[in-house]
Amino acid sequence: SQTIHQWPATLVQPVGSPLSLECTVEGTSNPNLYWYRQAAGRGLQLLFYSIGIDQISSEVPQNLSASRPQDRQFILSSKKLLLSDSGFYLCAGGGLEKLFFGSGTQLSVL
Amino acid sequence: DQQVKQNSPSLSVQEGRISILNCDYTNSMFDYFLWYKKYPAEGPTFLISISSIKDKNEDGRFTVFLNKSAKHLSLHIVPSQPGDSAVYFCAATSGTYKYIFGTGTRLKVLA
């Protein structure tokens, strides 16, 4: 099985500041990687997914971007955070049968 | 456009009784379905899955039922235990690597 490492666990950022969340994967090579967001009172919204290095699909037009510089590294970024970017961000890895999730980052934009 | 819906935001059940969590989907291309359990401030953990070629899959206390004609699936937990109290998400995929999750149902098992 895969292990998804995600940090930090919590983050408080001012509006307009940049963001970089990093996720790394152990236990597999060439994984599919995902960024999800859980906003307060809402479900898990798929933000980005990647089936390979530099192959990234964006699901929702927004203030965020993603990059995959290495096979097992997935980065979520923003140049200027908005209040609406607050939420619980989850990185996941997997294939056709299931996804494994990291422990998440609670982002509060103030 | 919410392709996967969990219309009950919360559910309370007595310990030892059956918990039934429901999920509806709109995309007929979905062919594989999963259930995840999530505790606060943690990532979801995989519970059970089902392929569209089956109508039932069982794993211990957890059983998932799939009704393709109704585009509906359900998760049964028998018997329910206090440790089952969590948010449950259903998810669906059509083999395109995209997993679409529902809005979640908060289950509370009362001791």
* pLDDT for residue B9: 92
Cα separation, B110 vs B17, in Å, equals 10
* pLDDT for residue B95: 75
* pLDDT for residue A41: 67
Given a cut of 90, whether residue B110 has pLDDT beyond it is yes
Q: β-strand A10-13 against A105-109: which pairing, if any? A: parallel
Cα Rg of chain A, angstroms? 13
* pLDDT for residue B2: 78
* pLDDT for residue A61: 67
Q: What is the pLDDT of residues A23-62, one digit of tens each?
A: 999 988 888 999 999 977 678 999 999 999 989 998 886 7
Cα separation, B33 vs B90, in Å, equals 7
The C-alpha torsion from A59 through A63 and A69 to A74, rounded to 10°, is -60
Is residue A89 within 8 A of residue A101, CB to CB? The reply is: no
Binned at pLDDT 50, 70 and 90, residue B97 comes out as confident
Most confident of A41-45, A69-73, B41-45, B75-79: B75-79
> To the nearest whole percent, how much of chain B has pLDDT over 90?
91
Q: To the nearest whole angstrom, how far is the Cα of B60 from the nearest Cα of chain A? A: 19
Cα–Cα nearest to B59, from B78, B31, B73: B78
* pLDDT (average), residues B44-73: 97
Is residue B21 within 8 A of residue B84, CB to CB? The reply is: no
3-state secondary structure of A110: coil
Identify how many contiguous H helices and E strands chain B contains and give both numbers.
0, 11
Q: Which residues of A touch B49 (CB under 8 A)?
A: 97-98
Q: To the nearest whole angstrom, how far is the Cα of B30 from the nearest Cα of chain A? A: 12
